[in-house]
Amino acid sequence: MSTIHNSVAADYAFLAGGVPFSAGVIALPGFEIVRVRFARILPLAEGFEAIAAHLRERHRPLTALCAAELRSPQPFAPQGFGEFNAGYVAVLRSWGLVRGELNPVARSNVCPVYDPPPQPGFHAFSYTVPVGTAHSGFLTTSDHAADAPGPRSFVVAGYAEWPEGTPYPDGIVAHGDTSREGLARKVAFVLDGLARHTATLGGTWASITAVQVYTEHDIGPLVASEFAPRRLTRLGLDWHVCRPPVTGLEFEVDVRCVRRELVID
């Protein structure tokens, strides 16, 4: 069973996932999470440089990075995905984030069906800031105390229809079945897993501020049967026409509760 650990700087806690990424993060008292989206996808090395520069400008250490949203040209075979992850994690180790086999940074890495980038890169990232500090002209809305006006911020990593610990590809839920019934099985598995991770982190499902859906398949027929009963349609669904990062997977979703989001060049 996954366990909760504090980050290096004790500004957020994370749900252990694996070496490539954690299953999710939640701000610890005194901090909140800010999300930043790039106006265009930045190649991985350039993206890391831009993140480091942004953190320096905000007087935040590199260890404040808590989540990454990546885009890749096409799904990886398992071996290729492992090779990609090794290079990505090496940077996080150099930043002092990864301890042993524990990587605190949550992640989604998906592959746009249309206009894919020529190489893997950053779409967005999230990091922690102290509560009560000014940021781009806005003040925080929550001090994360028991009587705070807003909930603790969190980001749950992308979750796909491959149960942890099962063989690939046979363990994939409804493997190869993209019928309406097959997709419904996949979506139900994914959303139930996200709900568990949210609860384990200490987040509340009702406080989610964004739901990002990643699939090339039409989600319209699944809204009433899968998303609405879980009270996710109240937000609207942010559908990215993307494939999950590993061949054979068809559906991935991530969720977050973040009150402040920026777009930068």
Q: Could you tell me if 239 and 219 are in contact, meaning their C-beta atoms sit under 8 angstroms apart? A: yes
pLDDT at residue 2 greater than cutoff 90 = no
Work out the average pLDDT over 115-119.
Answer: 98
Residue 150's alpha-carbon distances to 27, 65, 86, 119, 256, in angstroms, are 12, 22, 37, 38, 14
Confidence (pLDDT) at 150: 66
Q: Model-level pTM?
A: 0.93
CATH code: domain 159-255 is 3.30.1330
Integer Cα distance of 70 and 44 in angstroms:
8
More confidently predicted of 137 and 202: 202
Q: DSSP states of 202-244 as a string?
A: T--GGG--EEEEE-SS--HHHIIIIIGGGT-GGG--EEE-EE-
Integer Cα distance of 201 and 194 in angstroms:
11
Q: How does residue 133 score in pLDDT terms, banded at 50, 70 and 90?
A: low
Domain ranges of the chain: 4-155+257-264, 159-255
pLDDT, tens digit (0-9, with 9 covering 90-100), for 51-65: 999 999 999 999 999
Work out the average pLDDT over 163-183.
Answer: 96
Residue type, 229: P
Confidence (pLDDT) at 132: 74
Q: How does residue 151 score in pLDDT terms, banded at 50, 70 and 90?
A: confident
Task: Find the helix packing angle between 78-94 and 44-57, rounded to 10°.
Answer: 30
pLDDT at residue 228 greater than cutoff 60 = yes
Work out the average pLDDT over 18-39.
Answer: 96
CA angle 241, 246, 249 (to 5 degrees): 65
Work out the average pLDDT over 162-168.
Answer: 94
Q: How does residue 121 score in pLDDT terms, banded at 50, 70 and 90?
A: very high
Instruction: Evaluate whether the domain defined by 4-155+257-264 bears CATH number 3.30.1330.
Output: yes
End-to-end CA distance of the chain: 40
Q: Could you tell me if 186 and 214 are in contact, meaning their C-beta atoms sit under 8 angstroms apart? A: no
